[in-house]
Amino acid sequence: MTSSGQINIITKKIVAYLLLFSFLCGTIISFPTQIQAQEVSFPDLNSQSAVLMEFSRGEIIFSKNGSEPLPPASLTKIMTLLLSYEALQSGRISWDEETVVSQKAWETGGSQMFLEIGDKVTVGDLITGIAVVSANDGCVAIAEHLYGSEAIFVQEMNKKAAELGLKNTKFQNSSGLPHPDHYTTAEDLAVISRYLIKNFPEYLKLHKQTEFTYNDIVQYNLNPLLGRYTGADGLKTGHTTEAGHCLVGTAAQEGLRFITVTMNASSAEKRLIDNETMLNYAFRNYTQAKLLPAGEVVSSIRVTGGEERQLGLTLEKPVETVVPFDRQEDLELKYNIPESAPAPIEKGSPLGTVEVLLDGKKLTEEPLLAAKDIKKAGIFSLILRSVADFFSGLWQKLLQMINNLLF
């Protein structure tokens, strides 16, 4: 045989060994092109602070002064509603239970649902009034109903902010009325909003409700995105002289959701334009990359001591992630699977994970599950298997010796 033929055989063997090593390590090797995402810039934004967040991972795509503490006005109510939704979910309060309106709630100025002292009002009406018409009096009423006083409720607001890891947020009241030591940031508001939507999606129906009637007074939701921007279903407007015009917007289209935050715009019109600008960019430049389907075998694992030696691994959920259109080809799949798993194994047992990477950064991860039950093999079957493996090994060694002699 020619030397070039020998080199080809050696090359093929090296490739085979590399592929085998890759499989045993549980990693699919890919060679992505290193295309860097373009830096996002919106030079014409009027708002003093603005943030664009991708919902599924909470990635901040764009930030203009996003960590600058500013007065949030009625965007404060997102936290007030979050605590109210948590209380409903836990069963501490119910939608139909009633509370009596206090003088403090009645005296609260600004936007109102026009509660009267001594009125019996349901929790559902208070929450709807806050979500739809930004009722300051409703905020005080729900705060007092939950914790006995607005002051204690505010302590819980700040406690929740700390739990969410917010370092530039401090609340002094439940409504967002001006206070020199009441502030947050656009980035923190995006985090609060994402938490609310992720954990209480059923209440988005309130945030996209366009009007609310209480005591025969009809009032309208001031969120300009509703009915104007496709998929818009929240979240909250705000305005005071100190805070300027503020808006947390969110919209969902074709499986994608984005959150926008603008603070201290000079007018309601410019506040709207800024949010539409960011949402338009997001929906035009991002896509849901579908990488692996649910329910199908996508990998396998060696089983020791089982009636079968190999077990397929499936996904309960599809592997998907949101990325810019021009980065889809750069995604990598990394399988984290042990060398083997001992029998018995129950169907659905987690036996590894698959990660989605972009530029070495993990974007998302899903567990790999046993596709079926594997029973433990009997002692007689294991003995026969050991004998068969022994002779199989001898046969492989013999073939290798012959191969070495011939080539």
**Catalytic residue positions, numbered:** 74, 77, 134
State phi, psi for 373 to the nearest 5 degrees.
Answer: -75, 140
Q: Measured between alpha carbons, how far is 155 from 406 in angstroms, rounded to an integer? A: 82
Task: Provide the 3-class DSSP secondary structure of residue 161.
Answer: helix
Listing DSSP states for 62-104 in one string gives: EEESTT--B--GGGGHHHHHHHHHHHHHHTSS-TT-EEEPPHH
Single-letter amino acid, residue 39: E
Q: Measured between alpha carbons, how far is 257 from 322 in angstroms, rounded to an integer? A: 10
Q: Measured between alpha carbons, how far is 322 from 325 in angstroms, rounded to an integer? A: 9
State phi, psi for 128 to the nearest 5 degrees.
Answer: -65, -40
End-to-end CA distance of the chain: 8
Cα-to-chain-centroid distance, residue 147: 30
Neighbouring C-beta atoms of residue 357, cutoff 10 Å: 18
